[in-house]
Structure formats: C-alpha cells, structure tokens
Structure 1
Amino acid sequence: MTNNAQNEFISKAKKEIEQRIKTETKTLKLLNTEKKELINAIQGYKNYHHELEHFIEDNAKDFKTTPEELPEYFKSNINDVYQSYVQIKQDAKEEIQTLQKYITHCKKETNTNQRTLKFYRSQYMDSDFFDECLPLVQIYQEKIEIYQENITLTEKTIKELEKIEKELEKWK
C-alpha cells in the first residue's frame, strides 16, 4: 500500500469512527433516559401499591366486608370501580410482558455491544488510529454497564407490578 493510499485509508477510518462516536453517544443518552424512566417507574409502582393496599383496607372497613370479599362487593354494587381495577390488573400483566421483552432486548444488546467493544478494544491496541478508538471503547463499556443496570431496574419494576397484580388477584 502506498503512503498516499495508507493515509487515505486512515483518514476514511477516522471519519467512520467519528460518525460511530456520534451515533453511539446518542444511543447512550437514550439509554440513560430509559434508566431514569425505570427508576421513576419503580417508585411510582411502589407508591401505587401502597395506595392500593390502603384503598382495599379502607373500603373493606367502610363497606363492612373483608378485603377478600371486596371485589365481589364492588362487582355487585359499584361495577365501574370494579371494572377499573380489573383493567389495572390487566394493564399490569401487559406491562410485565412488555418489560420482559425489554429485558430480552437489553440482553441481546449487551451481547452485541460486548462483541463490538472487543473489536474496538483490539483496534485501540493494534492500530495506527488507536487514539480515535479510545472514546468508542469507553462508550461501549458504558453502554454495557447501563444495559445491565436497566435489566436490574426492569426486574425490580416487574416485582413492583407483580405486587399490584397479586393485590388484585381476586379482581377478575
């Protein structure tokens, strides 16, 4: 390879890396947003579960029934409230399924990013343009960490939804 051809190759490779850095930085921002949303969801579902427990206890007392008999009472006497809680239970089930798919997605992306990280790490170690590869190595490492954190946060979110679903198990 002539010196001119080699310089052109390196220049082209650097441009590709610069573009990849821009693209992956955007993805990293989206992942961080998803992480924040998951943290908020966990707290929101925790709070909702707590309120739901109080709703059931308070209404059982108010209507002189047990928490186990409350769904039947609402079904017979206040059907629209009953239907609302049946829908909440259904929504929780559907959200759990969506979150399980998200976990699968994160695991797949983690594996893909680990392979890509390995490639850029080797480029960083072995190439003439290793300085340009270092930011990509760092970005992929961070992406992998965030995907793993998001998996853990998603699992916690599912647990909170399962508590809500369990609280409403007799609301069929």
Structure 2
Amino acid sequence: MVVLSKIYTRTGDKGLTALGDGSRVPKPSARVEAYGTVDETNATVGMARLHADGEMDASLARIQNELFDLGADLCRPNREKDHEAEYTPLRMVASQVDRLETEIDAMNARLTPLRSFILPGGSPLAAHLHLCRTVSRRAERLAVELSLAEDVNPEAVKYLNRLSDWFFVAARIANDDGTADVLWVPGATR
C-alpha cells in the first residue's frame, strides 16, 4: 500500500530522483524520461476519458491503471535483482499485450479498411485519442532508447507499441466507426 503523507521532500532539489530500487539518478536520465512520458500518456488518457462513456471509458480506465503498472516497471532497473527486493516488483506481462491485440482486432473488425491516412481529429474523443497515440509513441521511442543502454522488460516495450495501435483504432471507433474520420488529402493546398 502506498502512503503519501508529505508531498514535497526536498530530496530532488539538486536534480536527482530515486528509482524504484532506491538508487538515485539525474532527473533527465533516460529511465526517468521513459517512465515520465508514460505518466504523460496517462494524463492524456485522463483527458480523453472526459469524452468517453460506457465500454470505451471502462477500457481507458483499465489502460490508465496499466500505465501506472508500466511506470512502476520502468522505474525499477536491474530485473536480475528482482529476487532481492523486499516485495515482488511489478512487471508488465505478455497477457497484457495479448489483451490489447484482442481488443484491437475486435474494434478493427467493425471498421472498413483505410484508403487514406487519417488526420488527428473528428470527434472530441477521437482527437484526444490521437493525442494519446502520439504521446504513447514517444514513450515507446524513449523506452526503446533506454533498452539500448540498460535492462528493460521487453513486455513493457511491446505494451507501448500495441497501446499506440489501440489508440489509433479506438480513435476510428470514436469517429462513428470510421465514417467521420478526417482523411488526408495529399497536396490539397498546392
């Protein structure tokens, strides 16, 4: 259980922050950038939920919780030392990626195939889901960059990759099952 009785600690005043294993790193480190951008993704999902209801809102609520799980995974380095932790570290698992794929397939089955690229927009929910998509893509790029230098759970990277796809297809669903998608017209202003 998390207990936050004091919000400011002054421990970061010199530009360092604590990771999940207690080690301290500079705030602009690749690991902090990666899980910080996952947190930013979560905030964009919260904005999208202002326009969602029913099944879509429930799915977005689940994703928000999983993004916290993902942040916990990314903020704890050294998976090989997980057995030494006083509690079992939270790690993303393949079943979370599989579930996203199943949901993407189910949503996509409702849509006609694309014949053009889509511009972010349409309904307010779709526009917000496109923002979720782009921020989650940035989180993925940062997680991949981190994985080139440090140990990263491969399921965390896979989750981010599928999540941005999920947001894309969900945006089409939010645009009246794709009928209200805003299509790109190449060279329209030439």
**TM-score normalised to structure 2 length:** 0.35
* Higher strand proportion: 2
* Higher helix proportion: 1
Q: Taking CA–CA contacts closer than 8 Å with sequence separation of 6 or more, which of the two structures ends up with the larger relative contact order?
A: 1
